[in-house]
Chains A and B, each alone.
Chain A
Amino acid sequence: MFPKGTKRKFSDSGEEAVCGGGGGGDQGPSAAPAPSPSPAAARTLSSSYSLQRQSLLDMSLIKLQLCHMLVEPNLCRSVLIANTVRQIQEEMTQDGTWQIMTQALAAAQCPADRLVATEVLCRQTEAAAQEGYHSEEVVMDGDAEAEVAMSSLSPVSPQLSSASYLAGADSRTGEQVFGTFEIKHPAPPSDPALEELFSDVDPSYYDLDTVLTGMQSTPKMGPYDLLESLSSHGPTALSSSTTCRSDLNELDHIMEIIVGS
């Protein structure tokens, strides 16, 4: 069920930090403050708690991605996982970590990583997907070791991997997770101020391939507001989908010639 890429490095006693404690029992050596809303400035995040939270975020995003790969995903499970992701994002926004992540992404110069990650989301080929997971594995492993060596939390590398999931996930999470549950009724056109999902009435939506690969529209802003900075600084992400789109158009053209319509 869960790809072997991301290793769980913390014992269950260490999990207590993320899990909110076992009802007042000892927190263990890696004690962290209970996740309660408080001003970011006043809060000291332990590195271990932050890593665990990051790991949980990554795990959740992977689960959401895997969701639409199943025969018919479970809507309840998808909603619960998506809510968990939102909660993590809210907390990270409150303590400023989210801001750091988006800035790091904007400044980052790793188009290859993003490309590979978005290919995972696009699910073009099995090989590409495998490669995506492996690259994720490499990033995660490398980061964990780096974390141990560094005293301060480095936002760049570990955040990048989940951010690249988010890049595709934010515009597509809703539609990939919830969109495949729709049958028969076309999505109503929505107000441009509203974000993502069914914003275009596009007949290609009903084509399973386009739903899965999310090629139907250019990536739109999502609840994480991540892609905006990504697309403004990383034209490669956009161009990858444009390339795919032009490939599809070409294929259509060829088919038309063959069919003679």
Chain B
Amino acid sequence: MAADIISTVEFNYSGDLLATGDKGGRVVIFQHEQESKNRPHLRGEYNVYSTFQSHEPEFDYLKSLEIEEKINKIRWLPQQNAAHFLLSTNDKTIKLWKISERDKRAEGYNLKDEDGRLRDPFRITSLRVPVLMPMDLMVEASPRRIFANAHTYHINSISVNSDHETYLSADDLRINLWHLEITDRSFNIVDIKPANMEELTEVITAAECHPHQCNVFVYSSSKGTIRLCDMRAAALCDRHSKFFEEPEDPSSRSFFSEIISSISDVKFSHSGRYMMTRDYLSVKVWDLNMENRPVETYQVHEYLRSKLCSLYENDCIFDKFECCWNGSDSAIMTGSYNNFFRMFDRNTRRDITLEASRESSKPRATLKPRKVSTGGKRKKDEISVDSLDFNKKILHTAWHPKDNVIAVAATNNLYIFQDKIN
């Protein structure tokens, strides 16, 4: 079912909960089960905790266009009480959802019977205090805020600020800052829309708040640049504080150079010292203090460079891959085609390609590293570039904030892999 295609994956701050959003506007939350006492060497599993319909398709009557209900991004809020809060967004509207547990219910109401029927008030002769009785656990999701009508273009990013009071939302041309309590207005902090739309040559592709400095955020563009902005400098952050761009390599210039340089995702490291960007063929790690080039570059699938014309023709060149850091910032992960995903160890410089598919991995079995043969003789167990399935793309991955547990979305299947404790 097309509506089941997973469009976003996100762990919460503790890693206890994992949320997925799909093309049909649904959010499914998984919860980490406690380790069983019988088998302490195995981590607990993730089981479905809550499912709810976050967004419905809407119709824009002025443009005669349907607004997709697909969930573009989910971001959790830090937990402040027993309930959990998350922001979910489609192309136009952001919603704040409260997910709370209910494991008790009141019994012994005065004005209604146990089955809910209202009692005749004249028949009531005595009053009693309702008593809380345990019940089966129920998880309820309710929309607490709806932030709408602030984006003319498609929202591609939302990011919660470190002050836990505000968050930003970015579309192709603008970035807005919201207060979580206020839904009827937002502050526009970046606007790159030209006066004449014909002059448009660059769009915003992703944005994120700095993990510790609540006045700092970054946004990436379709031209492969990243701008870091300081909200203290001006109300409208059209002038950046820092501008990150790697000079182009003239020897590999082609008509596709700009397209493959377009950044599809930007993520700060947990430390806040680095940021990572994903473009079509590589992942780059940038030191925030060095603007003229990245400190590390990792090739995700360089064997695709000679296939760019075909990938342009079938539109795969426009696929937006995400990337993520592990909890200690020592490793990074991103997806590729054929249900492959790649992990890079920043210290040892080793990398690994793994496959997320039912055929190649049984539960509790160790994943086998995969390899794509890049020409010449193909070794046994290798797969040739021409055999890759470009419909099986892993665009969304997430890494547990503390443990070595990863979530990988392969079309409409979610895979959760974890390290075995030996």
Which chain A residue has the least Cβ–Cβ distance from B258? A83
Say yes or no: B306 contacts A24, CB within 8 Å: no
Cβ of B81 within 8 Å of any chain A Cβ, yes or no, is no
Say yes or no: B196 contacts A197, CB within 8 Å: yes
Say yes or no: A56 contacts B255, CB within 8 Å: yes
| A residues in contact (CB < 8 Å) with B | 1-2, 8, 12-13, 15-16, 18-25, 34-36, 52-53, 56, 59, 71-72, 74-77, 79-80, 82-84, 87-88, 174-175, 178-184, 188, 190, 194-198, 206, 208, 223
Chain A residues with Cβ under 8 A from B154's Cβ?
A: 72, 74-75
Complex-state Cα separation, A178 to B62, whole angstroms? 16
9 more contacts with CB within 8 A, not counting A25-B306, A183-B62, are A1-B315, A15-B308, A23-B302, A75-B203, A77-B315, A178-B197, A194-B196, A196-B198, A208-B63
Say yes or no: B306 contacts A76, CB within 8 Å: no
Say yes or no: B257 contacts A20, CB within 8 Å: yes
Minimum C-beta distance from B250 to chain A (A): 7
| Given A20-B252, A72-B66, A79-B222: A197 and B198 interface contact (C-beta under 8 Å) | yes
Complex-state Cα separation, A139 to B102, whole angstroms? 69
Say yes or no: A76 contacts B198, CB within 8 Å: no
Complex-state Cα separation, A72 to B154, whole angstroms? 10
CB 8 Å contact bits of B302-322 with A (1 = contact, 0 = none): 100111111011110010000
Cβ of B68 within 8 Å of any chain A Cβ, yes or no, is yes
Say yes or no: A198 contacts B63, CB within 8 Å: no
Chain B residues with Cβ under 8 A from A12's Cβ?
A: 306-307, 309-310
Say yes or no: A178 contacts B60, CB within 8 Å: no
Cβ of B126 within 8 Å of any chain A Cβ, yes or no, is no
Chain A residues with Cβ under 8 A from B250's Cβ?
A: 36
Which chain B residue has the least Cβ–Cβ distance from A56? B255
Chain A residues with Cβ under 8 A from B66's Cβ?
A: 71-72
Chain B residues with Cβ under 8 A from A1's Cβ?
A: 314-315
Which chain B residue has the least Cβ–Cβ distance from A34? B253
Complex-state Cα separation, A35 to B255, whole angstroms? 8
Cβ of B230 within 8 Å of any chain A Cβ, yes or no, is no
Minimum C-beta distance from B145 to chain A (A): 23
Say yes or no: A80 contacts B262, CB within 8 Å: yes
Say yes or no: B318 contacts A19, CB within 8 Å: no
Among A22, A56, A181, the residue within 8 A (CB) of B306 is A22
Chain B residues with Cβ under 8 A from A83's Cβ?
A: 201, 258
Interface set, chain B 122-177, CB cutoff 8 A to A: 152-154, 172-173
Chain A residues with Cβ under 8 A from B172's Cβ?
A: 75-76
Cβ of B405 within 8 Å of any chain A Cβ, yes or no, is no
Cβ of B202 within 8 Å of any chain A Cβ, yes or no, is yes
Chain B residues with Cβ under 8 A from A35's Cβ?
A: 253-255
Minimum C-beta distance from A155 to chain B (A): 20
Chain B residues with Cβ under 8 A from A25's Cβ?
A: 306
Complex-state Cα separation, A198 to B197, whole angstroms? 9
Q: List 21 A-B contacts (CB under 8 A).
A: A2-B313, A15-B307, A15-B309, A15-B310, A18-B255, A21-B252, A22-B305, A72-B63, A72-B67, A75-B154, A75-B173, A76-B222, A76-B318, A80-B259, A80-B318, A84-B256, A181-B152, A184-B152, A190-B196, A198-B198, A206-B62
Number of interface residues of B (CB under 8 A): 47
Chain B residues with Cβ under 8 A from A74's Cβ?
A: 154, 318
Cβ of B65 within 8 Å of any chain A Cβ, yes or no, is yes
Chain B residues with Cβ under 8 A from A197's Cβ?
A: 196-198
Say yes or no: A16 contacts B255, CB within 8 Å: no
Minimum C-beta distance from A112 to chain B (A): 29
Which chain A residue has the least Cβ–Cβ distance from B317? A80
List 4 A-B pairs, minimum CB-CB distance, nearest first. Answer: A20-B254, A174-B198, A22-B306, A197-B198
Say yes or no: B313 contacts A75, CB within 8 Å: no
Chain B residues with Cβ under 8 A from A13's Cβ?
A: 306
Say yes or no: B254 contacts A182, CB within 8 Å: no
Chain A residues with Cβ under 8 A from B62's Cβ?
A: 183-184, 206
Say yes or no: B258 contacts A19, CB within 8 Å: no
Cβ of B200 within 8 Å of any chain A Cβ, yes or no, is yes
| Given A74-B318, A75-B154: A8 and B252 interface contact (C-beta under 8 Å) | no
Chain A residues with Cβ under 8 A from B67's Cβ?
A: 72
Say yes or no: A79 contacts B200, CB within 8 Å: yes
Cβ of B251 within 8 Å of any chain A Cβ, yes or no, is yes
Cβ of B64 within 8 Å of any chain A Cβ, yes or no, is yes
Chain B residues with Cβ under 8 A from A194's Cβ?
A: 196
Minimum C-beta distance from B300 to chain A (A): 15
Chain A residues with Cβ under 8 A from B310's Cβ?
A: 8, 12, 15
Chain B residues with Cβ under 8 A from A190's Cβ?
A: 196
Chain A residues with Cβ under 8 A from B353's Cβ?
A: none
Chain A residues with Cβ under 8 A from B89's Cβ?
A: none
Among A19, A72, A188, the residue within 8 A (CB) of B309 is A19
Minimum C-beta distance from B84 to chain A (A): 32
Chain B residues with Cβ under 8 A from A24's Cβ?
A: 251
Complex-state Cα separation, A197 to B194, whole angstroms? 13
| Given A79-B202, A80-B222: A179 and B197 interface contact (C-beta under 8 Å) | yes
Complex-state Cα separation, A229 to B258, whole angstroms? 31
Complex-state Cα separation, A56 to B308, whole angstroms? 11
